[in-house]
Structure 1
Amino acid sequence: MNTVSSDDTISAIATAIGEGGIGIVRLSGGKALAIADKLFIAKSGKQASTFPSHHVVYGKIVDPDSGETVDEVILITMRAPRSYTREDIVEIHCHGGPVPLKRILDLTLTLGARMAEPGEFTKRAFLNGRLDLAQAEAVIDVIRSKTDMSLKVAMGNLSGQLSDKVKALRQQILRMIAQLEAAIDFPEEDIEEAAAADVALLIGQVKSSIDKLLATAQTGRILREGLATVIIGKPNVGKSSLLNALLREKRAIVTDIPGTTRDIIEEYVNIRGVPLKIIDTAGIRETADVVEKIGVERAKELVNQADLILVLLDSSSPLTAEDRGVLELLPGREAIVLINKSDLPSRLDLEEVNHFAKGRKVLKISVVQGDGLEELEQVIVDLAYSGRISQGEAAFVNNVRHADALRQANFRLDEALATIGARMPPDCVVVDLRAAWEKLGEITGDTVGEDIIDQIFTQFCIGK
């Protein structure tokens, strides 16, 4: 992304592509009000630049060259610094069709704005100090949230819950650095030893806080991205029926013909606030059908990429070679073994199933009758929260970049402890502490490079 100039005025369509009741064209920058003056004719006849900030005014957009009315609109002005970007912002709310939106956008560009780059509005909010980097990244998490819980986590990070914790940790490290530097200025041996001992205790406290944040990382990632879940089993065991039951709708084709699911069906399912990115695969079996064979191979690949595997077995028939082939895919994977059709007379050897399961959860269910599905949902929720983190946790680490920075900070703190243990001079400990402080600063953007900032904001949609 190019470096943003404070002299630029940017413009973009801020609403989703397609038809809708309302569409929004957003401008930000020093020329935003002047451009609005040339385009917008208020019912009152007043110019946009004279409107009070944060007031809604009805009028129309007119092409200044032809005098043609483009659309009836309402216009909102938000003057700096009381705006999202801390610059003058104008929002034009028009009818939500692609033609009026494009016409209005084109007029703003003709009159001196330039097209906003992806995430540029939020990038300006960051550069102008309205949001720190962790809060800015939470904006996209709010937009992409898939359940109420993932929205709650994103909103918590947007409000600064994670940032506040990280900033407090950085302050603790700065105090340690100051304590050691004071000891360096007064190099009596007993003062240096006492300062090092105090700092060692404080490092332990900071590391404990970082560990608590990192304990939320797996759950945070799941809430942000979804728990990648693969349903596997031999053909006609009820995989598609299970998917439909979890979705509570008929998304997958269900027939008595083995091999009905030839492709990979992917859906997001809300399981008590946990988003499951659930994948229904082709039945795993030996087959001469080329198309089905590709689906089977793809299913095996997905097993290796999944966070969770749901293995479906048929209670009404003995364990087959195909079942054993499915169960042999499990070593090293998180899995739940589901014995379906439990409403029918059982012919399955449970002892053999438990041997393959090797301590994994084995549940009896009946997709047709709906039996056991509530228990399955609870097991999935417990797995997502790792049995350690309550759903009321104030701050979650839901971003791989943040988790990596926390781990690296912890490593540098370990280095500081080792340096103290080796009775090295305080200035050597300060080097490690300052490195940890900088790593934590990457989360909030205080010590992050321009390339990382650009990479983050290119993930945003245009107009946000």
Structure 2
Amino acid sequence: MAEKLPTTVRPDFGADAGTIAAIATAPGRGGIGVIRVSGESLLDFAEALSGKRPLARLATIGDFRSADGRVIDSGLLLHFPTPHSFTGDDVLELHGHGGPLVMQMLLARCLELGARLAEPGEFTRRAYLNGKLDLTQAEAVIDLIDASTVAAARSAVRSLQGEFSREVRALLEQLIELRALVEATLDFPDEELDFLAAADAFGRLERLQQRLSVVFDRARQGGLLQAGLHVVLAGQPNVGKSSLLNRLAGDELAIVTALPGTTRDLVRSTLQIEGVPLHVIDTAGLRATEDAIEKIGIQRAWREIERADVVVLLVDARSGIGNAERDILARVPAHLARVTVYNKIDLTPRAAERRNEADGVAIALSAKSGEGIELLRQELLRIAGWHPAEDVFIARERHLRALAETGQRIDAAREQLPRLELFAEELRLAQRALATITGEFSSDDLLGEIFGRFCIGK
């Protein structure tokens, strides 16, 4: 019988866990600053700090005092007793005035009372370990904080509310049911395939693959909202790379002159198209030069090209592709998506258009007038694999890898038929890969990597 997934149990934190405290609001001056404290039995802690024992989930006004009784600040205390709190432990929030010095003095007093400074992401990590959040929800916390577009923020909220987790668990339930069915037949070797056919095992496998494909697509779209697309503008000097960057960004980010070699270093801009972040990098013109500074800029340009998702090669529409452009294309890594842009059509009779060429897609446009710019925007979205959807959820590279491995294991299981022992083993490995997404199977190294990227206080 297929085993059920291990559930996350509350760990024994040990003596070194104790009470943690940190400033939860952003650094700098503000009207309000918040210090968050999490630990065991914080009512005594609150009384030592303010002389009051606040009621659960009721704002209590009071003075925060130093060890000698002097008032550090006046503000509100909020007590969230275990287990009804963000972390699952007792949580105490101190709302005071948002001056940096005041916050530091108040934090120092919390440390005097026995708390220790929280590590980055430790509050959210405790919430995960205490079963308040699963791993995808915990990751969605920082994704929501870091969201750079409205679409990314909405997708992160969906993941934080557990939509992605529910989809993954539904897949796991299907996998477990199928495994249970397959492994139950192993005790009856003479009737294995007939029994599985009668129980619609192969139909279940087909439906599992279809649902996995849908989840993977939604996750891939969400991953794109988080990471965006890295686009490098490349080409010879004076073909309009900086003008194109300015047109895409809607601002004068790069200096534009008629002099070749004006751009000598990288100019970066992040913009969005239909909610998808595009990280566009303008580079130095690629040419042979004796100018030491320009050489450095060209070296940096090639480094960016090697790291890009898409290379946009700009060509002057009046002269077209020559030997210099062919040399550039020959050096561009073969795995990179590429778009050839014939710029400056405003100086030719040529109209804006998109067409397929031997070296990939070509777009004729004018960065100066804006004609054809929308063709380029849509082509970049097409390369990214984006299609508008309202139900995507934020996903990370590790989620996509786990979903891809799950799919590969299920495909491998199908290939093992009629060897049911191997079929069952591939299903087990598929379940194991899928369970890493929500953290029902995960390593300490993975947790350290995930929560180490959070800010202190979260």
TM-score normalised to structure 2 length:
0.88
* Matched residue SS, 1:123: helix
Cα distance change on mapping 1:12 and 1:377 into 2, 3 Å: same
Query: 2:219 touches 2:392 (CA, 8 Å); kept in 1?
Result: no
Note if 1:404 corresponds to 2:401. yes
Matching of residues 318-333 of structure 1 within 5 Å: 319=321, 321-330=323-332, 331-333=334-336
Cα distance change on mapping 1:56 and 1:237 into 2, 3 Å: farther
Partner residue, 1:413: 410
Partner residue, 1:118: 120
* Matched residue SS, 2:347: coil
Structure 1 unaligned spans of 5+: 42-46
Partner residue, 1:129: 131
Partner residue, 2:359: 358
* Matched residue SS, 2:346: coil
Partner residue, 1:8: 18
How far apart are residue 321 of structure 1 and its match?
Answer: 4.7
What CA distance in whole angstroms lies between the structure 2 residues aligned with 1:302 and 1:374? Answer: 24
* Matched residue SS, 1:126: helix
Cα distance change on mapping 1:463 and 1:454 into 2, 3 Å: same
2:339 alignment partner, one of 331, 336, 341: 336
Query: 2:363 touches 2:375 (CA, 8 Å); kept in 1?
Result: no
Partner residue, 1:391: 389
Structure 2 unaligned spans of 5+: 1-10
Query: 2:312 touches 2:341 (CA, 8 Å); kept in 1?
Result: yes
What CA distance in whole angstroms lies between the structure 2 residues aligned with 1:5 and 1:403? Answer: 34
1:430 alignment partner, one of 418, 424, 429: 424
How far apart are residue 357 of structure 1 and its match?
Answer: 5.5
Structure 1, 394-403 or 314-323: larger mean CA deviation: 314-323
What CA distance in whole angstroms lies between the structure 2 residues aligned with 1:80 and 1:272? Answer: 42
Report the identity percentage.
38
Query: 2:54 touches 2:79 (CA, 8 Å); kept in 1?
Result: no
Matching of residues 38-117 of structure 1 within 5 Å: 38-40=48-50, 47=52, 49-53=53-57, 55-65=58-68, 67-117=69-119
Cα distance change on mapping 1:356 and 1:321 into 2, 3 Å: farther
Structure 1, 215-224 or 334-343: larger mean CA deviation: 215-224
How far apart are residue 206 of structure 1 and its match?
Answer: 1.4
Q: How many residues are treated as equivalent by the alignment?
A: 445
What CA distance in whole angstroms lies between the structure 1 residues aligned with 2:323 and 2:192? Answer: 72
2:359 maps to a residue whose letter is K
Partner residue, 1:20: 30
1:29 alignment partner, one of 17, 39, 49: 39
Structure 1, 299-308 or 188-197: larger mean CA deviation: 188-197
What CA distance in whole angstroms lies between the structure 1 residues aligned with 2:249 and 2:80? Answer: 42
Cα distance change on mapping 1:285 and 1:207 into 2, 3 Å: same
1:276 alignment partner, one of 275, 278, 282: 278
Partner residue, 1:303: 305
Query: 1:327 touches 1:356 (CA, 8 Å); kept in 2?
Result: no
Cα distance change on mapping 1:20 and 1:249 into 2, 3 Å: farther
Structure 1, 237-246 or 119-128: larger mean CA deviation: 237-246
How far apart are residue 319 of structure 1 and its match?
Answer: 4.8
What CA distance in whole angstroms lies between the structure 2 residues aligned with 1:147 and 1:300? Answer: 29
Cα distance change on mapping 1:375 and 1:166 into 2, 3 Å: same
How far apart are residue 428 of structure 1 and its match?
Answer: 4.4
What CA distance in whole angstroms lies between the structure 1 residues aligned with 2:325 and 2:184? Answer: 68
Cα distance change on mapping 1:5 and 1:236 into 2, 3 Å: farther
What CA distance in whole angstroms lies between the structure 2 residues aligned with 1:266 and 1:395? Answer: 28
What CA distance in whole angstroms lies between the structure 1 residues aligned with 2:231 and 2:406? Answer: 32
Partner residue, 1:448: 442
1:403 maps to a residue whose letter is L
What CA distance in whole angstroms lies between the structure 2 residues aligned with 1:332 and 1:188? Answer: 47
2:316 maps to a residue whose letter is D
How far apart are residue 81 of structure 1 and its match?
Answer: 2.2
* Matched residue SS, 1:291: helix
* Matched residue SS, 2:92: strand
What CA distance in whole angstroms lies between the structure 1 residues aligned with 2:392 and 2:186? Answer: 37
1:202 alignment partner, one of 198, 201, 204: 204
Structure 1, 316-325 or 210-219: larger mean CA deviation: 316-325
* Matched residue SS, 1:169: helix
Q: Deviation digits for residues 291-312 of structure 1, max 9, x if unmatched? A: 2111112212211221112222
Query: 1:213 touches 1:397 (CA, 8 Å); kept in 2?
Result: no
Partner residue, 1:44: none
What CA distance in whole angstroms lies between the structure 1 residues aligned with 2:92 and 2:142? Answer: 22
Cα distance change on mapping 1:176 and 1:218 into 2, 3 Å: closer
How far apart are residue 360 of structure 1 and its match?
Answer: 0.7
TM-score normalised to structure 1 length:
0.87
How far apart are residue 216 of structure 1 and its match?
Answer: 4.1
Cα distance change on mapping 1:219 and 1:52 into 2, 3 Å: closer
Partner residue, 2:8: none
Matching of residues 150-299 of structure 1 within 5 Å: 150-185=152-187, 187=188, 189-190=190-191, 193-195=194-196, 198-299=200-301
Structure 1, 93-102 or 131-140: larger mean CA deviation: 93-102
Query: 1:336 touches 1:361 (CA, 8 Å); kept in 2?
Result: yes
